[in-house]
Structure formats: structure tokens, C-alpha cells
Amino acid sequence: MKAPNGNKLAILNALNEGGFVSGQALGDELGISRAAVSKHIKTLQEMGLDIFKVTGKGYSLNNHVGLLNQVQIQKNYKALGASTANVEVHPIIDSTNSELMRRIQAKETLESGTVIVAEMQQAGRGRRGRVWQSPFGANLYYSYFWRLDDGLQAAMGVSIAVGLAVYDAIKVLYNIDIELKWPNDIYLNKQKLAGVLVELDGQPQGPCQLVIGIGINLQMPDSFSQHIDQAWTDLSQHTQQLDKNQLVASLTDCLEQRLVEYRQTGLQTMYEQWNSLNAFAGECVELNTGHRSWRGICEGIDSQGGIRIRQDGEVKSYYGGEVSLRKAQI
């Protein structure tokens, strides 16, 4: 699927103003036929946008989250007293994480705080090679570049800090309490709301470069939700105050604060708060590496970010990598 051309984006921006827009008016403004307008609308619908038509009124976009606007994001971000991040907005991209990783591999000079957000991902990725459903304009697809000078080992618990940053942003904007599932998931009412994917490039002892990917479900279209293989939710089911540009700004600010804290003290001041938000606290869980699995009671995380599992009265910590954690089937 190709990125939307100028006409599609112009139609999308007109619909984003709210209310109904007639096909004739769109055609007149763009210098194209009503049939061409209809064809562009159909393509936008195939991307996942909920656009409907009412005879005599025209087209309307059923989207409460708005579209990304780089100027508005920076304005909101600076209003929070922050100034270090540089946010790029892309209409369509293969993956926001992949774009930053390509720049790292190409030896481009990247500043910590480089943020890429997109309206749609054509190859969105979750952990363990899973596909992240990424319809146009429906959710938040976000990646943040961060340089850490203390080596790969020091980056081991970053996803814990990132999960708390997502908690911070959603709490401050919507007064919603979320739960955190080790190592990378964000739950709301026992359903998946968001996910984190941290990718690393560097040496065990030298400086390393991190790409912190965050995907948050905002207003998932029904046509895409059928491809999700677990219980899920989105923010539109819990609040009507969604503003994607404000969310990007707040998330960036909260993430930067948590990363400063992590750089200074690791998880020493964070792991107990994470445990208070643990989605599986005290429950029987199954830990799976693909080659082996363990069952036990989830005791939260330790100060290094490892998950603590109690088996036969003994508590052991397990760390990240290609590990999955789920509630055990009794």
C-alpha cells in the first residue's frame, strides 16, 4: 500500500476538521472529479479509517483522536517545560523502530530525544516477531532514540522504566490507572492496552544506543481488531478526551523524566512502584522461553528488573530476552 498522496492527505485533513464535507466540495477544492474523491475515500477506508457517507451531507470521519501535527506536538511539549526532544511525524512508515534502527546502522548522527511518530505502520513489530496491528490514524506508533554510555548490561531494566512512563502519561492526562505486565505490556482492566519494544545496538562495556518503541491502542477499528489474538482494549473506550498530539508531548516528557531517573539510580527508586502496578501480582503464572517453561507464583520484579517467581517455597529471578509470561491455566 502506497503512502497517501497529496490529494488523499488533503481529503484527510478536510475530514479531520469535523462534521460533513461534500464530495463535490472536495473535488472542486482539489480540481478532481467526485469519482476520484470517492476512490481516494475508499483507499483511506482500506487503511483503517472509519469514514462514512450520508446522502445529501457528504463524508465524515469517525475519529475522536485527531491526526498528528508536528507543530502542535512541539507546542504542547514546550508548554510542559521540556525542550530537548525533536519529533518527526510520518504519515506512513514500515515501522518507527525500524526507521531509527536503520539510521543507527547507517552511522547517522542521532541526538538523544529523537522521536518518530506515524499515522500508520506497514510492518509494525511487537516482541518475539509478532505483528503489531497498525491501522492509519487509529493508534499511537511511537519510537524514541536514547544513548546510554554505561554498556548493554546497564540497559537491562529500561523497559521497566518505560512502562512506568506510559503509566505516568495516561494517569496525568486521563486519570486512568493502568497495570503493568512483565516485561513489556500495559494492561487496563486485564486487557492489553499498549506494548513496549526496546531494541539495542552497542557493545557490552561501551556506549549503547536504544530505540524505545511504544504502541498504544487509541481507537482500534473493528476491521483490524479481529486480527488480535488476545484480550485488548483502547483508550477511546475509557475516555472522550483523547488528543493524540497532547499524548505524544506528555509521553515524551514522562519518558524523559523516567530515563533521567534510570540513568541516575537504575531501578532502585522504581521497582517497588512497578510492583504496586503488577498485573499478575500473587497469581499463578507460566514463564516460557520457547525451550522450557516454569510455573509459580508471581512475586513482582527485583531491583534489576528480573521477574521473581516462587516455586516450591523458593523465589528465583528470571530476566528478559525471548521470554514470555502469562497467567497459568489451572
305-310 long-range contacts, CB within 8 A, separation 24+ = 305/156, 305/157, 305/159, 305/160, 305/183, 305/267, 305/271, 307/182, 307/183, 309/285
Catalytic residues: 127, 192, 326
What integer pLDDT is reported at residue 223 of this predicted model?
62
Pairwise CA distance, residues 227 & 33, whole Å: 35
Compute φ and ψ for 219, nearest 5 degrees.
-150, 80
CA distances from 40 to 22, 29, 47, 75 (A): 14, 14, 11, 31
What integer pLDDT is reported at residue 140 of this predicted model?
94
What integer pLDDT is reported at residue 65 of this predicted model?
67
What integer pLDDT is reported at residue 104 of this predicted model?
96
**231 φ/ψ sector (left φ>0, alpha ψ -120 to 50, else beta):** beta
What integer pLDDT is reported at residue 330 of this predicted model?
63
Cα-only R_g, the chain: 21
Judge whether 119 and 92 are in contact, CB under 8 Å.
Answer: yes
* pLDDT tens digits, 21-70: 999 999 999 999 999 999 988 888 877 777 888 988 999 887 666 789 99
**Residue ranges in the chain modelled with pLDDT below 50:** 1-3, 127-128
CA distances from 108 to 149, 213, 313 (A): 17, 19, 51
What integer pLDDT is reported at residue 1 of this predicted model?
39
What integer pLDDT is reported at residue 130 of this predicted model?
57
What integer pLDDT is reported at residue 261 of this predicted model?
96
